[in-house]
Amino acid sequence: MLGKRHSLDSLADENWDLIVIGGGITGAGVLLEAARRGHRVLLLEQTDFAWGTSSRSSKMVHGGLRYIAQGDIRLTRHSLLERERLIEELPGLVERATYLFPLRKGVFPGRLPMKAILWLYDFLAGIRDHRYLNREQLLERVPGLNSQSLTGAMSYTDALTDDCRLVVRVILEAARHGGLAQNYCRVEQTEPSGEGYAVTVTDRTTEQTATLRARRVISATGAWADRFSGSDPRVRPLRGSHLFVNPERLPVKDCLTVMHPDDGRPVFVFPWEGVTCVGTTDLDHPQDMDIEAAASGQEVDYLLRLINSQFPKVDLNRDDIYSTIAGVRPVIASGKGMDPSKERRDHAVWGENGIVTVSGGKLTTFRLIALDALLASGLIDSAAHKRGQKTTEPGFIPISDAPQAVDAFLHANQGDPVFIQWILDNEDVVHLDDLMLRRTRLGLLLPEAGKGLLDSLRQQIQSTLGWDDAYWEEERRRYLEIHQRYYGVPASPAQQAVG
């Protein structure tokens, strides 16, 4: 398991084959694939594991229908094969889900184009899982859906996950192979030293600074990639925001893809962890990347308009929203100034001064992205890279001493004391928001940031982490302030003007 934190002095005593900068899904994937091959590898994350984009995605492990429409069959096939691998290897954590694409008269794409796309989609995945629902069947499955011009829907499957728990699960698997990961360790500088690199690191829990040494360095910092790459900027940060909505006000059983009335963009409405999730937006994010991204009032209005146009009798409003999340996608910029939604989602790997940078790409293909980064770093050769792409060896072994919820995203289990205890013992919780917003999603899924649960968890957390009453109160204040500022429901522009 992750275990107790290591002092920087002890980390500085090691000669690392590889230091990975960044604790999102890409960095975690690099850690696992390097450790699996016997390398001495250390991952350093400046905040918490999955603090950035990898806890704020659309929670979907999918092949990407849009990539077929863009003509990128290769990316679609790779994504679909990885989707099937993850469904098989991590049952409960990555689960197949039904998706519905409503069809309306005179609105592109119609039934025949969608049928052709889904036939190819299933063919590339090696399954057959799509079918047509007529108007009556669709309205039975989705009561309250706007029936104007509705002709039916195409049904197919992709998968859902808890993105943050997936990151932690990958790191836990890497630990079994000897990989080491440490959160709240900020890399200040990297520079060539002898036959490798000197990496200056600050432990943000102690403010201790030390210099570590490694043969190779891979920067997997996502939207922060340009900070360490040493090359011209390549990443276009794009913000995507989601709403977590009271499921009694907006009950759905399947993942719906519906078109926004303002701009025709596809937006998902889907059940997740016992609530209903709505998203996402797609906007340039010029703000300081070291400040948590937050949904704007305009984005909340945009998503509410979508819901109330597709479910006209619901009349959803801000009071029905439990929380919001905003993630910044590290999209590799085309340089053409195109609409954010039209930028490609490919990943890129590049090197400058010997340091390999990897950014972009999809949650689904993290393993393949990691292999590309290891190839570029010279830690594997082209033959090993090819074997890795085609391997059928199991990537994850069940954690026998862990509660079931560790390998699942089941809302019913998230507040279970046994699950909480395992997390506190094994998953490097440093702050209360690590537990409430990432190791579990209780702060997102419960009204009022889950304040009603905090008192029942207090004694268990204090006892395990050694927090006295004063420290608990400080952590509670800190968590609630973070939630209000970055995960709460912002006022509309009209309300802000009045205020």
Are 332 and 349 found together in one domain?
no
Examine residue 73 and state whether it is found in any structural domain, yes or no: no
Examine residue 173 and state whether it is found in any structural domain, yes or no: yes
What is the span of the domain harbouring residue 365?
A: 8-54+164-234+343-390
Are 318 and 270 found together in one domain?
yes
Examine residue 443 and state whether it is found in any structural domain, yes or no: yes
Q: What is the CATH number of the domain that holds 177?
A: 3.50.50.60
Are 326 and 247 found together in one domain?
yes
Are 317 and 182 found together in one domain?
no
Are 196 and 242 found together in one domain?
no
Are 110 and 250 found together in one domain?
yes
Are 261 and 324 found together in one domain?
yes
pLDDT of residue 410: 59
Domain boundary among 322, 340, 358: 340
Examine residue 90 and state whether it is found in any structural domain, yes or no: no
Examine residue 72 and state whether it is found in any structural domain, yes or no: no
Examine residue 65 and state whether it is found in any structural domain, yes or no: no
* pLDDT tens by residue, the chain, 499 residues: 576 789 999 999 999 999 999 999 999 999 999 999 999 999 999 999 999 999 999 999 999 888 887 788 988 999 999 999 999 999 999 999 999 999 999 888 889 999 999 999 999 999 999 999 999 999 999 999 999 999 999 999 999 999 999 999 999 999 999 999 999 999 999 999 988 999 999 999 999 999 999 999 999 998 888 777 667 778 899 999 999 999 999 999 999 999 999 999 999 999 999 999 999 999 999 888 889 999 999 999 999 999 999 999 999 999 999 999 999 998 887 665 555 565 666 788 988 777 899 998 889 999 999 999 999 999 999 999 999 988 777 788 888 788 877 777 655 567 789 999 999 999 999 999 999 999 999 999 999 999 999 999 999 999 999 999 999 999 999 999 999 999 999 988 777 765 5
Examine residue 397 and state whether it is found in any structural domain, yes or no: no
Are 32 and 136 found together in one domain?
no
Are 146 and 257 found together in one domain?
yes
Cα radius of gyration (the chain): 22
Count of structural domains within the chain = 3
pLDDT of residue 306: 97
Are 308 and 375 found together in one domain?
no
The vertex-376 CA angle with 373 and 379, nearest 5°, equals 85
Q: What is the CATH number of the domain that holds 105?
A: 3.30.9.10
Are 143 and 119 found together in one domain?
yes
Are 224 and 371 found together in one domain?
yes
Examine residue 250 and state whether it is found in any structural domain, yes or no: yes
pLDDT of residue 497: 63
